[in-house]
Homo-oligomer: A and B are copies of this chain.
Amino acid sequence: MSATRYTYLGPEGTFTEAALRKLPESATRELIPMVSVPAALDAVRAGEAEAALVPIENSVEGGITTTLDELISGEPLQIYREVLLEISFALLVRPGTTLADIKTVTAHPAAQPQVRNWLAAHLPEAVWESSASNADGARLVQEGRFDAAFAGEFAAATYGLEPLVTDIHDAENAQTRFVLAGRPARPAAPTGADKTSVVIWLGEDHPGALLELLQEFAVRGVNLMLIQSRPTGAGIGNYCFAVDAEGHIDDRRVGEALMGLKRICPQVRFLGSYPRAGVSRADVRPLRQGTSDAEFVAASDWLRQCRDGRP
């Protein structure tokens, strides 16, 4: 029964699995590793899974374009949750291996920028070879192909390895953001600390279009958290923008901004409104004066009175 399955970017032992296990409901779902982000999402589109957890942004490498492009095109999907995970690596080895024994190391290429300095300092002679995923690298160590793999510490047990060194991360605050995507449905109710994701296509080439897009948000006091350009495929110089904004589509200010975008842009794709990971209502920046739901309702009442001749 599909409603009880979540897919994720596998294999087992990746950071994505670790992120998925941070969601309480994962305990009651069947968790299915998939070979790629498109595969994880297509299973949801096909109705074979309820939702998929995929990485979308990395504080070192930036937006994960495969995921963005999958959400931008194809059958619409909607984001329901986000998960933030601190990324730090362990050096996994077969039991008994010491640092001095390590001649070859492996990991997914994305790990390289986060372990490069550590490697240069501690294993300057080791030869690096990339693997298809960090978990796959661990498996290859298990099989004896490499001496050590960089991976999440949680992957050690799965592959019968030992963490020789832990907490390796060249950049402080290295984080990856994951999203849980499902088929479109009514978003969860606002929590007061929400985020709304949309993709916006700009119209025929006119230079001020991006400025106008931002003003639709600004004039309603909706703060932007992320704006990421992606090619539309129509040639160099043609972009769409993936935007994360503070607030929930049910908030009046957000709704009015989205309608403004819908009117001036040839296409807008709603990607979901969902709670912000790691942010509670108390942490949210106060609303700009005049942008609360109560103020929207009061202004709407006033307008109706003016229209009716009772100002």
- Spell out A's residues near B (CB within 8 Å): 57-63, 65, 76, 78, 84, 171-173, 175, 177, 184-187, 203, 207-208, 210-211, 214-216, 218-220, 223-231, 233-239, 246, 249-250, 255-256, 258-260, 262-264, 268-270, 285, 289-291, 295-296, 298-300, 302-303, 306-311
Most chain-B CB neighbours within 10 Å: which of A215, A218, A233? A233
Q: Which residues of chain B come closer than 8 Å to A306, judged between CB atoms?
A: 249, 258, 270
Q: Evaluate contact between A299 and B263: CB separation under 8 angstroms.
A: yes
> How many angstroms from the CA of A230 to the CA of B84 in the assembled complex?
18
Q: Which residues of chain B come closer than 8 Å to A62, judged between CB atoms?
A: 65, 229-231
A245 (CB) vs chain B CBs: closest residue: B207
Q: A226-B237, A259-B302, A263-B298 are in contact. List 10 more A-B contacts (CB 8 A).
A: A57-B236, A173-B234, A173-B235, A175-B236, A184-B309, A210-B227, A220-B260, A227-B227, A249-B306, A270-B306
Q: Evaluate contact between B231 and A59: CB separation under 8 angstroms.
A: yes
Q: List 16 A-B contacts (CB under 8 A).
A: A59-B231, A59-B236, A62-B230, A184-B311, A186-B308, A207-B285, A210-B227, A211-B214, A211-B215, A219-B219, A258-B299, A258-B306, A259-B299, A260-B290, A263-B291, A270-B311
Q: Which residues of chain B come closer than 8 Å to A262, judged between CB atoms?
A: 298-299, 302-303
Copies of this protein, total? 4
Q: Which residues of chain B come closer than 8 Å to A186, judged between CB atoms?
A: 307-309
Q: Which residues of chain B come closer than 8 Å to A268, judged between CB atoms?
A: 302
Q: Which residues of chain B come closer than 8 Å to A269, judged between CB atoms?
A: 311
- A150 CB, min distance to chain B CBs, angstroms: 18
- A246 CB, min distance to chain B CBs, angstroms: 8
- A218 CB, min distance to chain B CBs, angstroms: 5
Q: Residue A263 contacts which of B61, B227, B239, B290 (CB distance < 8 angstroms)?
A: B290
Q: Which residues of chain B come closer than 8 Å to A220, judged between CB atoms?
A: 260
Q: Which residues of chain B come closer than 8 Å to A258, judged between CB atoms?
A: 299, 303, 306
Q: Which residues of chain B come closer than 8 Å to A264, judged between CB atoms?
A: 289-290
Q: Evaluate contact between A229 and B227: CB separation under 8 angstroms.
A: yes
Most chain-B CB neighbours within 10 Å: which of A61, A171, A220, A307? A307
Q: Evaluate contact between B310 and A233: CB separation under 8 angstroms.
A: no
Contact A231 B61, CB 8 Å, known A184-B310, A210-B224, A214-B214: yes
Q: Which residues of chain B come closer than 8 Å to A226, judged between CB atoms?
A: 229, 237, 239
